[in-house]
Structures are given as C-alpha cells and as structure tokens.
Amino acid sequence: MPDTTVSDHPAERRAEDDGWRIRRTEADAGRLGETESIFALSNGWLGWRGNLDEGEPYGMPGSYLNGFHERRELSYPEDGYAFPQLSDTVISAPNAALIRLWVDGEPLDVRTGTLHHHERVLDLRAGLVERHTEWTSPGGHRVRVRSTRLVSLAHHPVAAVRWEVEALDGPVDVRVCSDLVANQRVPERSDDPRAATVLDEPLVAEYRRSDGPDGVLVHRTGRSGQRVAVAVAHLVEAPDTTATDTGCQGDRFRLALSGPLRPGQRLRLTKFAAYECTRTDIVDHPAEAADRSAGDPGGTGAERPTDLAARAVAAATEARSVGWDALVAEQRAWLDAAWTTADVVLDGDPELQQATRFALFHLIQAGRAEGDRTIPAKGLTGNGYDGHVLWDTEGYVLPVLTYVAPAMARSALRWRHAHLPEARERAAELRLPGASFPWRTIGGRECSGYWPAGTAGLHVNADVADAVLRYVAATGDEEFLVDAGLEMLVETARLWHGFGHWSDTGSYHLRGVTGPDEYTALVDDNVFTNLMARRNLRGAADAADAHPEVAARFGVDAAEVAAWRAAADAMHLPYDPKRGVHQQSAGFTDLPEWDFDGTDADDYPLLLHFPYLELYRKQVVKQADLVLAMLRSPGDFTADEKARNFAYYEARTVRDSSLSSPGQAVLAAEVGHLDLAYDHFAESVLQDLEDLGDKTSDGLHLAALAGAWIALVQGFGGLRDDRGELCFVPRLPRRLTRLAFSLLWRGQRLRVTITPDEVRYDLPGAGPDVGLDLWHDGERVRVTGGTSCVRPLPTPPDPGPEPPAPPGRRPTRRATA
C-alpha cells in the first residue's frame, strides 16, 4: 500500500481523499476537451477518453488501441531524396463507451434544460471515473444519472461501464441506448502545426453480428493493413415494463431499452466491452491499397474477421462472467500494488500532492508489463502529435518507469528492438551505418517530414541507448541485455561512429544535428547530443566486452570496440572561455541575442509567431538543452560550471515546450535555487491539470508528467544514476515539510524520506540479511533491511541571486505558502 496515514478527523480525511481524487463540476463544462484528456483511462493497450457517457457535447471522441493507425501520404512543395513519403496517424477504434438517454423524448444534454448538479471524479486509487448528474429536461422531467467506468488494468482487452438512471420528482418515460459506434466525427484543429491530422471515416466495415443484448463489429483500415473487432456484452436491471430492442449495422450496434420509471425507480445497465486487433505488413503503394479497399473477404493474410470477432466476443463474455464487482476489486488491487512503489508523498502542498499522484497515475496506466508495447507522447489519451512515439518516451517516461514499474520500461524497449529492421533501413537510406530510429513513428518507420527538427534530431538514437543502459543498471536484467539491449547499443554506436568526423586536431565532432532545443537547428557539436553519443559509444563498448560471443554474432570485433572508445574519448564539447560557459552548440554564444523586450506576451510560443529563420540564428532556447545535458551527464561538469551554465541559459530559455521545466527544476535545485526549482516543478506537474499550454485537449503531456517525478526525485531527492550506482544529494524546498518516495533497484524497494533535518533510507519488507549500497552526499553507506539508515540533510550551496528568466517567462511563483 502507499505510504499514507489516514486521519480519524473528518476534515483531514476529506483532505486525504482529495489527494487521490480529481473533480470536475458543471463549472468546468466549457473545458470539455481538457477534461476528456484528464479523465482518460488506459491500460497500455486500450484507452478511452473521458467523454460524457451520452457522447455529446464533446471536445474530441477517442477510443484508442496501442499502435492502431491509418497510413496517409505526405506531400512536399519540393520533394527530396529520403523525404518520408508516408506517415501514420492514430485513429479511433469503434467506441463502446456510449450510453445515451432520452427523457420523454428529449435527449440528455448538459447544455439544455436545467443542470442541478454535475460532477465527475477520477479516483486515482480505484482507477475509476465516476459521474453524478441531476438534470431537468426542457419538458420539466427531473432525473438522476450515475455512471462508473473502468479500463481494466488486469485484463488488457476489457473496458466496462456501470450506468443507471433514476426518476426523481415524477414518472417519466425513458429510452436508453447502449451504442457501439465506428467512424465518429473528429473535429480538426488547424491553428497549430502540432495538432493531429484528421482522416474522414478511416474504418471500413467488414463483419457484424448481434446475439440478444450483445453484439460485435469488425472493421479494417484501408492502407495500414489492420483489423479491429469490438464486442459488447450487457447486464440489464430494469422494471418488468421495460422493452428491449437491438439494431446492428456496419458502423453501429445498439441495445435500446425503453419504458416508464416511477419516482425512485431505477434502470441499471452494465456494459462490458472487449477490443481485439491484428496487424499486417504496411501497404506502401496506392494500387495495393485500392485492391484492399475493393474487399478481401478472406482477410489480408491476417486473422479472419470471424476469428477476430470470436476472440472479442469471448473476452467480453468472460468479463461479464467475472462480473462488475470483481473487475472493480481487481482494478483496486492492481493499483494498490503499483502505488506501493510509485507513490510520492509531499507534505506541505496539498494541491501539488494531488497533482503528483495524478501524474503518476497516468504514467503507470500508460504502459504494459507484458508484450512489446511502447508509450506514445500522448499515451492513449488523445490524438495530439498524430499519436506518434517521440524521444519523449526514452528521454522522460522510461527513466521514471525504470524505477517504479521496470517491466513496463522493458516492454517499451523491446518494442524499439522489434523495430530495429526499420531503423536499419532508415540509416541505409540516409547513407549511414547502423540504425537510425525515427523522430516520429507509430509502426517503426519515420513519419516526420520536417528534416531540421526531425531527421537531424539524431539524439533520439542515443536516448534509446541511454534508456537501455539505465534500465540494465537499475534492474541487472542481463537477459534483456543479451536478447535485445546489446544489439540496439551496437547499431546506435555504429551510427555515431559513421556519422562523426575527426578534426585535424584529433577531436571528434558531430556536425549538422539538432539537439533538444528545436529553436537552434542543424548545428555542430550540440553538447547534449555529443555527451549522449559518448555514453552510447562507451556503453556499447562495455556491453560488447562483457558479452563478446553475443557481440560477435553482430559482427563486432576488438577493432570496432576500440574505435568506439577512441571516438568517445575525443568527443568535442564546445566551451566559451570569455563567458565561462559551455556553448549549447558550437558558436551559440556568439549568435545575436533575441529581442525579448520587443516580444509581446501574446507572441509565445514563438514558433507560431516567428519564422524559423529568425529563431535559428538568435540566442533563444525553446526548451532546456545544455541544462538537460548537465542532468543526464552530471559527472562531465564541475559544480561551478553547472552554476554558470544554468544562470546563462535560464536567461534565454522561453519554455515553449512542456519538456523544459523538469530539467530546469533539477539543475536549479542542485545549484541551490530551491524556490525557482519548486516553481519549475509546479509548472511541470500542473501542465495538464491547469492546461498551461492550451494543448491538453489533444491529450496529456506524458513527458511533462514524468518530468514531475524527475523534478522531485532527481531534483529534491538528488538522485544521480549516470555511474550505474545510486547517488543522492537531497534538497528540501521550504514549501515542504516532508518528501518521501520509493524506487526499485536490483529487485529491492528503497524508500527515501527527506525532512528538514535528516534523510532516512529504508528497505521496507526486507530482512536483516538484505542490504543495498548507495552514496549519500559523497559518503558511501549501506542500507539493510529492518534498520533505517539516517543521515543529515546536506546544506545546499549558496547560489547567490536568482538568475533572471526572459521577461514574462519565469514560472509562476508558488514557493512560499
């Protein structure tokens, strides 16, 4: 169970309850898209957006399966060699969450009639979304509607809804329709290039069947070669006067219940849904897509529609047999186990305590422990970024999951390994050795047509390698290293060795790349990229030396390993001695300064108001870049260098990306600016709950939510793991009286509790013969089971005045109570 203490005092119990529950009421009715993302439920395979049961009004409907997408052509005003010609876009599978209500012929709609009470709650411990509405129809008939929904964390194909309507003031005639609908209209947002591409009616009906109150629909995509089956099974508790009817068409199955309700009388419907999907090779050519669209009753070499339907029906029927109460109990048990490690306790700031648990809930429900599923940038909460996987996963999400849910991190890394063939093909297309993982993808192929911040963002390859190295160090999973990790390390090391350049002075350079800061593109020797590539090269060399027989299967010999080490040792890191700071990339500090005083508050984000030509040639930083390099490779910078670098780049970073604040929080804490660090942490953890970037309606920012954990555990907890050992130099911001978190290391759960005077390390549940070595503020200590290891809280350095941020771009001050 999570490390919480429940009070006997009613007010304190309510405060504790609010720390685990996110509420939205009728006052939030104008923020539908945002609420739908916040209330999204997922299990890493299946995701339901938090739409209203009745389906309308909505910001964006969504019923997603991990990896389920359609393919579309990319067009360029001027084409070029190796430009990706096709891209993939996430599409909604048939939606089984819909339950519509008519009261005396008038549809339930929170925009009409009188809304007396409307509350929706996301329960972070139970994994449920609850809804309670009291509504009077325009005709004057008052009803109460309650519903609870879940996406099962224990049964990956299954989601369920328990829904009921009750007559309140007088008799009413109700009609309830439980719908399964394909090809719902998705509104298109064209005011932002980061918004998703919307495809009209991407699903083609193939098969349908109804059996009493149950039904199943099977659809296929036209080009991506995928097929999906969705089955629904129902339990009905209704007065004897209720009539039942069903209808089944290509894009809709409907169970309709109608009849009178007396005051106090209820109609209850429990709906169990199951989603199954098959995948085939992608069809690249329009002619082949046309052949497929003409119909293929026997299937496309994949599972036949009838077989897929049978699997979905069996899963939905089994869920009904398991029963609603058992599904709810399993959901709570699954989350209780997950929260034992994932929960982070913040005493002193109830709002951010709640927000932190919200962030971690969405992280632990975004992945799957089994199989080879990864986590898109928006998870399964929306269609932002076209549902693509970006470097966010390995750069932010997996470093957290490695410590709180390592099996999920392993699954995501196995997904990358499964797509090594496409990465090799892409590298060959770019005239490079090894493998080049895509900047944006769903099915393993490059989906980004924007070269300066896509293809040139080669650091994604080192991010993948870094995630492999951190996972293996934290878990000791040598089986994974031998089966998958080593091959990824080898192929990415080969990319860097083939891409790099030796100068006449004997330095090794990486030219023409884009680092995390996408406002500075196609540069030489980006420090983040160079340091990450160095770690990649050394990690591959170490792994090859540790497993020479496995490495030999990939053609690795001693000469290649030696070449990797030589390149790593000679990697150039540009430095400006005049200003006493590292250059984000070669020549960066010599660029003209951005005119911040002449930039209006409405001009942010800059990419929507200024041409990239202007951004690329000025000292303006979209998101922490060199700062992130200091977080990932802390041993490559002295304490003085970190302080000077942080101050210099804090003044030039506008945080037009939600990925920026986590790294800034960590370095601010390390150099002693604890109030600033806390404000950056707050911005990261509140990114979606307060919709700080006006983008939450497109889906949650999972990397920013992961960044909240990074800010807490690596910032205030002082965790550093780049040496393959656990090292802590904790800090405690003045807003907090206690910070406590757990992490898994080599199969042991380490609990760290930080208070104003001390730091306590424990191994909960371990016996006295179990021990763990770690570093505390430069001192090597051993933690054993049954005994707390207590050390004083280190005194942070005196950082001097807080460095300025660009005008109007400092995070909101909340460090004082």
Name the catalytic one among 518, 650, 670, 683. 518
Are 142 and 136 in contact by the 8 Å Cβ rule? The answer is yes
User: What are the b/e assignments for 332-355, b being 16+ CB within 10 Å?
Assistant: bebbeebbbbbbbbbeebebbbbb
Distance CA(617)–CA(654), nearest Å, equals: 16
CA torsion sign for 68, 73, 77, 83 is: positive
Structure tokens given for 587: 């020549």
| Pair type for strands 226-237 and 266-279 | antiparallel
The binding site for substrate comprises: 391-392, 622-623
The binding site comprises: 391-392, 622-623
Please tell me the chain's helix, strand, coil percentages from 3-state DSSP, rounded to the nearest 5.
35, 25, 40
Distance CA(230)–CA(381), nearest Å, equals: 19
258 C-beta neighbours (distance < 10 Å), count: 17
Distance CA(473)–CA(561), nearest Å, equals: 20
DSSP 178: E
**Residue 518 catalytic?**
yes
Q: State whether residue 816 is helix, strand or coil.
A: coil
Distance CA(49)–CA(37), nearest Å, equals: 6
Are 474 and 422 in contact by the 8 Å Cβ rule? The answer is no
Q: At a CB cut-off of 8 Å and minimum separation 6, what does 594 contact?
A: 618, 619, 620, 652, 806
The residue whose two tokens read 């990790």 is 485
Side-chain-facing half-sphere of 567: CA atoms under 13 Å: 30
Distance CA(148)–CA(109), nearest Å, equals: 18
| Concatenated DSSP letters of 216-280 | EEEEEESSS-EEEEEEEEEEEE--TT-EEEEEEETTEEEEEEEEEE-TT-EEEEEEEEEEEEEE-
16 C-beta neighbours (distance < 10 Å), count: 17
Q: At a CB cut-off of 8 Å and minimum separation 6, what does 558 contact?
A: none
Question: How big is the chain, counted in residues?
Answer: 817
Are 715 and 730 in contact by the 8 Å Cβ rule? The answer is no
Host H or E run for residue 336: helix 324-342
Are 342 and 381 in contact by the 8 Å Cβ rule? The answer is no
Distance CA(665)–CA(703), nearest Å, equals: 14
CA angle 761/766/771 to nearest 5° reads 60
Q: What is the dihedral of CA 102, 106, 107, 109, to 10 degrees?
A: -130
Catalytic residues: 518
